[in-house]
Structure 1
Amino acid sequence: MDKINILVTDFDGVMTDGKRYVNETGIYSKCYNMKDGLAIKNFQKLGIKIMILSGDNSDITQKIGNRLNVDYIKIGIKNKYEELTNFLKNNSLSSENIIYIGDDLNDKECLDYAKYKFTPKDGNKALLRIENIIQLESKGGEGCLSELYNFFNP
């Protein structure tokens, strides 16, 4: 296995169930699984950096990422592939060095590009046509990063 330097994850639909919860005053929230917080720490102990790459431009995503000590938080990204490849180039990394997990069509190019690619059980079914993609047993928000950690560290 090539040296893995970074785990890149979508946020909504991977670390969350992809839903927005809105209360009676119009304030919305998101819920993430604490198992993923522990998985992030465990990956980091192995020297693997964590990046959240999200199309949503949400303060909640930023705050949760900060709380979990995520190394790189990129929100409001319109073209995830361009953002990812520029980041890798600027850090002398390649597709061989990353794990990518995403759940929907805006992750497809990144999943095609990454050597190690995963999608949650409830990810967009079109992603299953990507060569060598692995569908996790966990649905989004149910510990996908925890399952991913166990996949690489049985």
Structure 2
Amino acid sequence: MSRAEIVRRARAVELLVFDVDGVLTDGGLYYDENGQYAKRFDVQDGLGIKAAQAVGLHIGVITGLDSKAVANRVNELEIDEYVAGRVEKSTAFEALCERHGVAPYQAAYVGDDWVDIGPMRMAGLPMAVPNAQPEVLQVAAHVLSRPGGRGAVREAIRLVLFCKGCLDGELESWRKGMALAKAASRRLNR
């Protein structure tokens, strides 16, 4: 797909939907001696999600597993939509689009494995992490350079914000917010 076509599709995006294992996380399951498992999330991905929300984009997460760790992270980031325990993701993706009044061509979907192919085929901007399964890479309009759990979500969001012309403005908002926070801290510490 041409760069111009990717830009055109990214400009239309109003809803960003992410898989969890292999996209929001590195795909690893870390088990402790009691059989409980944990997941690792990238803090930069979280800030990217907050930036997307700040410009009015909706965020959705669809995952095949039902994990308390994921539910906690989704809740912490105030993500609009969380669908857990769904291996068949196409109907969940359609429902997310309907709930937000977004046509599938106005949605981006980032996946890595076979269960993501259905919604990726429906999305206007299907993206994949670089270590995705070969069949997923074939469906992707854009392959990210960062792996899952290591900045892929942030990269996808940056692409959409850049193409929509929002990236510089959002960065400036964060800079101003940090400057105000530092000034307030200095006043409190006097």
Equivalences for 1:1-154 in 2 at 5 Å? Answer: 1=8, 2-130=11-139, 133-154=141-162
Q: Find the aligned partners of 2:91 and 2:161 in 1 and give their Cα distance.
A: 30
Unaligned runs of 5+ in 2: 1-7, 163-190
Higher helix share: 2
SS at match of 1:51: strand
Q: Find the aligned partners of 2:161 and 2:79 in 1 and give their Cα distance.
A: 20
Deviations 1:38-80 (A, max 9, x none): 0000001110011111111111111111111111111011321
- Once structures 1 and 2 are overlaid, which stretch shifts more, 10-19 or 143-152? 143-152
Normalising to structure 2: TM-score of the pair? 0.76
**4+ long deviations beyond 4 Å:** none
Would the alpha carbon gap of residues 67 and 125 (structure 1) be closer, same or farther in structure 2, given more than 3 Å must change? same
Rg: which structure is higher? 2
Q: Find the aligned partners of 2:99 and 2:49 in 1 and give their Cα distance.
A: 23
Unaligned runs of 5+ in 1: none
Would the alpha carbon gap of residues 37 and 90 (structure 1) be closer, same or farther in structure 2, given more than 3 Å must change? closer
Q: Find the aligned partners of 2:85 and 2:151 in 1 and give their Cα distance.
A: 23
Q: Find the aligned partners of 1:72 and 1:89 in 2 and give their Cα distance.
A: 12
Read off the aligned partner of 1:150 and give its amino acid letter.
R
Read off the aligned partner of 1:129 and give its amino acid letter.
Q
Question: Residue 123 of structure 1 contacts residue 140 of structure 1 at CA under 8 Å; is this kept in 2?
Answer: no
* CA drift at 1:90: 4.1
Indicate the percent of aligned positions where both proteins have the same amino acid. 27
SS at match of 1:137: coil
Deviations 1:17-54 (A, max 9, x none): 11100112222100010001000000011100111111
SS at match of 1:8: strand
- Once structures 1 and 2 are overlaid, which stretch shifts more, 46-55 or 85-94? 85-94
Alignment length, in residue pairs? 153
SS at match of 1:14: helix
Q: Find the aligned partners of 2:58 and 2:101 in 1 and give their Cα distance.
A: 14
- Once structures 1 and 2 are overlaid, which stretch shifts more, 42-51 or 78-87? 78-87
Read off the aligned partner of 1:137 and give its amino acid letter.
S
Question: Residue 97 of structure 2 contacts residue 107 of structure 2 at CA under 8 Å; is this kept in 1?
Answer: no
Question: Residue 15 of structure 1 contacts residue 141 of structure 1 at CA under 8 Å; is this kept in 2?
Answer: yes
